[in-house]
Amino acid sequence: MKERVILHCDINHCYAQIEEMKFPQLRNVPMAVGGHEESRHGIILAKNLLAKKFKIKTGETLRDAKRKCPELVIVHPNYDDYLYYTEKVKDIYREYTDKVESFGLDEAWVDLSSSSIFGSGEEVAKIIQKRVLEEIGLTISIGVSFNKVFAKLGSDLIKPSGLVVITRENYKETVWPLPVEDLFYVGKATKRKLEVMNINTIGELANTGVEVLRKRFGKMGEVLWGFANGYDLSNVTHIDYQREIKSVGNSVTAIRDIINYEDAKIVFYVLSESVASRLKESGLKGYVVSISLRNNKLEWFTRQQKRDIPTNISKEIMETTLELLKNNYDFSIPLRSIGISVSMLVPDDYPSQMSLFINEEERDKAKRIDETLDKIRNRFGHYSIHRACVLLDSKLTGFSPKEDHIIHPVSYF
Amino acid sequence: MMLYKRYVDVVTLIDKEGTMTPVLIIWDDGAKYKIDRVIEIRKSASVVGGSGILYKCRIKGQVRNLFFEKNRWFIESYHP
């Protein structure tokens, strides 16, 4: 088999760098992109190099960040700009191959295996870096390797503007001495477990027997072992490829803490309508309803339940949601954010077994109400029609989940 | 020389082929400057911030960088 040439390109501290590109004076001060503290979306999304010196971390609260660096400049996120400029960057990648796979906004794999007319992987990487800097004004780090996992690892090694080539000849020297948490899909929890097994570097992981890992981590142990040894064979998808939808969900960080069942209920109403509406838009329905709850100590968990009949009706999603909520939370600690998602999806016209104990007429009615709501909202806007109960606290429910959220996290698998 | 980012009104010509050419710049005070010649067109980032399509223009004997950014125009101005 011909050796593959895969680039992983990563726009350095993406959101912050785009803001710097738009306003160059921000390069001279410690700056971070963060949400609005007033609406409690107050976490750091990205920071520039000067802010990094103050040990400001992505994901921490604005308050903590300000404590570390009082003169920190906070810029509110402009997602439209981020989508626009990252897409422009990807347009450059797409000039070199038709295999470009996005991984979030700022990262992408570029497969050059069958497009060698522009030069070797390293040469093309240099051209891409130069063009992105000159044409868009952004620096990117690139890893070049023979599989996706090592390419991604390479792009993480030097920031900003790094270029690291990992080959079959040198990966034992470059990759194996690295700490094991640098490997894709080794997070905090996995790292702790590996440490207990005295596995601290990627090399040690690679040289551990695959049986041992499988016993400890199941299927994932085998996957990680393969990653560490460079056996990852997954393909870079074609630019036309559309990820199959596996779940449809919505969540919200409420404007104030959700202190009791009634509060949660009205917020869930808004979310369930949005989820139901998006499911119908995609022509899907799902069996499994899950709720995610995050309390104001930022602890987080999810619970899920499978329904007998797949649904995309807000009333039914709501029933399961409330059941889950009742059985799993007592509000001893107030909730900060909550979410619903529906998974195990099947097409909306997928035949389902009717039940003698379910009133199909009622279901049909509920669905028609949903559809009518959607029609009204499409024409007159989200706030044009509401359930009366959400008006009990219009501040708490005053958000439009369908329109407000844009960016979905993606999974490698 | 310090440069400033100034958004400006621009009159453009879009020809039958779909090619867009800036023709006239209108300053905030209403002053109009005819673009005598477009010297160069390419994608570029600007030193004053932002990026887009650079139209390097000759205006009254001077060369100025005019950018089409997303959906509007700015010029690298010598005046704030």
Q: How far is CA A253 from CA A41, A153, A411, B79, in A?
A: 7, 33, 22, 45
At A342 the pLDDT is 94
CB-CB neighbours of A404 under 10 Å: 12
Pure H helices in A79-179: 79-94, 121-131, 148-157, 171-174
Asked if the structure places residue A363 within a domain, the reply is yes
CB-CB under 8 Å, B45 with A134: yes
Mean pLDDT of chain A: 90
Smallest Cβ–Cβ distance between A135 and the set B47, B51, B70 belongs to B51
Residue A128 Cα, gap to closest chain B Cα (Å): 14
- Kindly state the average pLDDT of the residues A363-391: 90
DSSP per residue, A37-92: TTTT--BEEEE-HHHHHTT--TTSBHHHHHHH-TTPEEE---HHHHHHHHHHHHHH
Comparing CB atoms, the residue among A21, A85, A138 nearest residue B49 is: A21
Q: How confident is the model at residue A405 (pLDDT cuts 50, 70, 90)?
A: low
pLDDT confidence tier of residue A161, bands split at 50, 70 and 90: very high
pLDDT of residue A7: 96
Confidence of residue A104 (pLDDT cuts 50, 70, 90): confident
Domain end among A216, A242, A268: A242
- The answer on A186 and A147 residing in a single domain is no
Q: Whole domain around residue A36: which residue ranges?
A: 1-170
Residue A84 sits in the same domain as residue A21:
yes
The answer, yes or no, to whether ipTM is higher than 0.95 is no
Same domain, A266 and A317: yes
Mean pLDDT in residue range A380-391: 87
Judged by CB atoms closer than 8 Å, whether chains meet at B45 and A133 is answered as yes
Do residues A89 and A114 both lie within one domain? yes
Q: Are A136 and B49 a contacting pair at CB < 8 A?
A: no
Residue A218 maps to which CATH number?
1.10.150.20
User: Are residues A166 and A199 located together in one domain of the fold?
Assistant: no
Q: Is beta strand A163-165 parallel, antiparallel or unpaired with respect to A140-145? A: parallel
Of A171-175, A251-255, A331-335, A405-409, minimum mean pLDDT range = A405-409
What pLDDT, on a 0 to 100 scale, did the predictor assign at position A89? 96
Render pLDDT for B39-59 as a digit per residue (tens, 0 to 9).
999 999 999 999 999 999 999
pLDDT of residue B2: 86
Determine whether the interchain pair B45/A136 forms a contact, defined as Cβ–Cβ distance below 8 Å.
Answer: yes
- From chain A, the residues in CB contact with B47 under 8 A are 24
Contact A134 B70 (CB under 8 A): no
Q: How far is CA A75 from the centre of its chain?
A: 21
Q: Report how far residue A410's alpha carbon sits from residue A106's, in angstroms, rounded to the nearest whole number.
A: 12
Task: Check whether A390 has a pLDDT greater than 90.
Answer: no
Catalytic (active site) residue A362? no
Indicate whether A145 pLDDT > 60. Answer: yes
From A107, A319, A360, A403, the catalytic residue: A107
Domain-embedded: residue A411: no
Q: In Å, how far is B59's CA from the nearest CA of chain A?
A: 24
* CA–CA gap between residue B80 and residue B62 (Å, rounded): 18
Number of folded domains that form chain B: 1
